[in-house]
Amino acid sequence: MEGSRETIARAEKLVEEHMSGNDASHDAAHIFRVRDLSLSLAAEEGLSSSPDSMFTVELAALLHDIGDYKYARDPAEENLIEEFLEKEGVEESKKNTIVGIIKRMGFKEELAGHNDQECSLEFGVVQDADRLDAIGAIGIARCFTFGGSRNRVLHDPAIKPRGTMSKEEYMNKNQQTTVNHFHEKLLKLKDLMKTQAGRRRAEKRHKFMEEYLEEFYLEWNGRA
């Protein structure tokens, strides 16, 4: 697996280079947390006995935000993942698995129904890890960091959270507040976890967000 470790090292370097211009909600530290969470969840789910599965999980986690539409500066960035995997000589079936995980794992794809099909355990642990990093204490910090980077209003009681959304409506974040993002996405993630390990860890993080929002609204209304 020496070649695999070299590929992982080069993927880490790509992450550091490509994510350097992003705000702290989607920086290299986010990627490395998701990688570590993915490997930990994979081990809990029994994948550690398969080096191929662990390699797939680690590489998908490392590459999952490369070319993210929220930060894309050039349409050509959409091809960076495939180009990297081809350059590394990753076999076709494994490359397709990694690209498939990355393209389907986003919340917007869930809204579009692209996650309804049965998913592999590798897919589940990577998606769960990314969603775990979006909730809890880290998730709260990332949410407000991203909102601040887009000059988004903190909270406006007159702007109600959207209920059911299409993929296109979710991607159009005009006139939305940072706090509404909790209701439109973050508080829904606990029930969308794909693995037992992910669901177990999400419980505590979800509860922390609920407690935070309860205090936030009390303070906003001058009642705390």
pLDDT at 189 over 90: yes
Q: Which pTM was predicted?
A: 0.93
Name every residue whose Cβ is closer than 8 Å to that of residue 24 and which is 6 or more positions away in sequence. 30, 142, 145
Q: What per-residue confidence (pLDDT) applies to 96? A: 95
Residue pair 98/85 in contact (Cβ under 8 Å)? The answer is yes
Whether domain 2-220 has CATH 1.10.3210.50:
yes
Across the chain, mean pLDDT equals 92
Confidence of residue 40 (pLDDT cuts 50, 70, 90): very high
> What letter does residue 164 receive in the DSSP assignment?
S
Question: How far is residue 15's CA from residue 61's CA, in Å, rounded to a whole number?
Answer: 11
Confidence of residue 107 (pLDDT cuts 50, 70, 90): confident
pLDDT tens by residue, 42-86: 999 999 999 999 999 999 999 999 988 888 777 667 789 999 999
- Of 33, 49, 194, the closest CA to residue 121 belongs to 194
Residue pair 31/62 in contact (Cβ under 8 Å)? The answer is yes
Q: What per-residue confidence (pLDDT) applies to 70? A: 83
Residue pair 108/177 in contact (Cβ under 8 Å)? The answer is no
pLDDT tens by residue, 111-165: 777 665 568 999 999 999 999 999 999 999 999 999 999 999 999 999 999 888 8
Which DSSP string corresponds to 63-120? HTTTT-TTT-SSGGGGGHHHHHHHHTT--HHHHHHHHHHHHH-SHHHHHTTTT-S---
Q: What per-residue confidence (pLDDT) applies to 23? A: 96
Confidence of residue 172 (pLDDT cuts 50, 70, 90): confident
Residue pair 81/102 in contact (Cβ under 8 Å)? The answer is yes
